[in-house]
Structure 1
Amino acid sequence: MVFINDYLMIIIWAVVLIGTILVEFETSDLVTIWFTFGAIAALIAAALNVPIVGQVAIFIVVSLVLLILTRPLTKRFMDKEVVKTNADRMIGMHGVVVTEIPFDGKGEIKVDSQLWTAFTTKKDPISVGTRVVILDIVGNKLLVDVLKEDL
């Protein structure tokens, strides 16, 4: 029967502890924090000469209890409002018509100091200088409508 030296188990739990801390620093979400505390508890158990089976049990129990009790809470705090970073962030933004937008054609609008090709599904053309709201993106064109406050 092979007996693992008590000092070796202390080293193993210390490595697990350091590893979980490093993983936690490298990620933006809390993914290993529960195992970090489990490793601390197991490390203390190893220092107190608790048998290996007991150390592993302590690690598992502490990790699972903390995971079950705190994961829903941390998930709620970690869920931040998602900021749209692509063109879809433009939906709902306002722009100004710089080239008239006819019913069956395309015009241009200026949004955040950038020119975009735009079109409308309304029967009436949208004249230059009219403020519009972006309803959708179709390909590389913006579907727009006149702002209600400008009507």
Structure 2
Amino acid sequence: MAWWAWLIIAFVIGIVEVSSFTFVLLWFAIAAFVTALLSTGVHDVWIQLLVFAVLGVALFVATRPLARKWKQQKSYPDRSDTMIGKTGVVVTAAEPGAFATVRVQGDLWSARSNSELKPGQPVMVRAASATVLTVEPIREGR
């Protein structure tokens, strides 16, 4: 196969990868590009196909864990993560373990505590999930 055919294959696979952003086809686009370079000296199509397949799979297997780790990294903290350590005020009371409503930084949140929560009581956020804060009453003298 001619070198320019491999370049076209690499380009098409690269366009599909950019549109999907999955880091699966990237390795095969790179393998097609390398095969295009090698095809100037190796004219047997079967050897070219073998180089393409082996290199594509090898790149995929070798770098997939790194790509998956990079893709899962947070580039900025979630809003709930930034709530830990903030103080707030209880809006609606709750018994230990039950849901209360607290106001933290001007927003209302559902909250739980191992202590009884009373309206107007100051609390500190100890943990946060997407929708529920775990709070602890702030004792006098702390």
TM range (shorter): 0.5 to 0.7
- Flag the 1:33–1:102 CA change in 2: closer, same or farther, 3 A: closer
Q: For the pair shown, which has the larger CA radius of gyration, 1 or 2?
A: 1
1:33 is aligned to 2:26:
yes
Pairing of 1:1-150 with structure 2 (within 5 A): 6-7=1-2, 10-11=4-5, 13-48=6-41, 50-81=43-74, 92=84, 94-99=86-91, 101-103=93-95, 108-116=101-109, 118=111, 120-122=113-115, 124-133=116-125, 144-147=135-138
One-letter amino acid of the structure 1 residue matched with residue 137 of structure 2: V
What is the letter of the counterpart of residue 122 of structure 2?
A: T
Contact 1:135-1:145 within 8 A present in 2 as well = no
Distance 1:117 1:70 in 2: 42
CA distance in 2, matches of 1:83, 1:101: 33
Identity %, equivalent residues: 18
| Distance (whole Å) between structure 2 residues aligned to residue 19 and residue 150 of structure 1 | 67
Q: Output the TM-score relative to the length of structure 1.
A: 0.61
Give aligned pairs, total. Answer: 140
CA offsets per residue over residues 111-130 of structure 1, 9 Å max, x none? 232123556452x4435151
The letter of the residue matching 1:145 is E
Q: Which aligned segments of 4 or more residues in structure 1 are displaced greater than 4 angstroms?
A: 82-86, 88-93, 104-107, 117-121, 134-137, 140-143, 147-151
- Compared with structure 1, are the counterparts of its residues 21 and 131 closer, same or farther at alpha carbon in structure 2 (3 Å cutoff)? same
Please say if residues 101 and 118 of structure 1, whose CA atoms lie closer than 8 Å, have aligned partners that are also in contact.
no
Q: Which amino acid aligns with 1:60?
A: A
Deviation by residue 1:93-138 (Cα, 9 ceiling, x = unmatched): 644125352538875421232123556452x44351512326577x
Cα distance in 2 between the residues matched to 1:130 and 1:41: 64
